[in-house]
């Protein structure tokens, strides 16, 4: 499963972006977890990166790292 969390941050912590849809300035955390909720991958980036683009980065070469992975569930925010 892939999902995201938006986190408000200040400029002191480094780069941040504006998520205009949610009106959040900060970062987004994207997680790929297994059916037990164990974290397989994490990606943190500025909030101005769209969900579909962040998911592409998160899932790049995932088949090589996890060859037994068969299905990935995402919500509609990840449509390309």
Question: Could you report the average pLDDT of every consecutive run of 10 residues in the chain (80 residues)?
Answer: 64 57 69 89 82 84 88 73
Q: What is the pLDDT of residue 80?
A: 55
Q: What is the pLDDT of residue 69?
A: 86
Distance CA 76, CA 51 (A): 10
Q: What is the pLDDT of residue 61?
A: 87
- With 0.85 as the threshold, say if the pTM is over it: no
Q: What is the pLDDT of residue 2?
A: 76
Q: What is the pLDDT of residue 41?
A: 92
């Amino acid at each position: 499963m892939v999902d995201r969390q938006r986190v408000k941050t200040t400029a002191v912590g480094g780069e941040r972006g504006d998520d205009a849809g949610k009106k959040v300035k900060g970062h987004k955390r994207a997680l790929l977890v297994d059916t037990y909720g164990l974290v397989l991958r994490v990606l943190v980036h500025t909030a101005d990166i769209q969900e579909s683009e962040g998911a592409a980065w998160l899932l790049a070469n995932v088949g090589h790292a996890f060859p037994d992975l068969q299905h990935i569930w995402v919500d509609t925010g990840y449509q390309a």
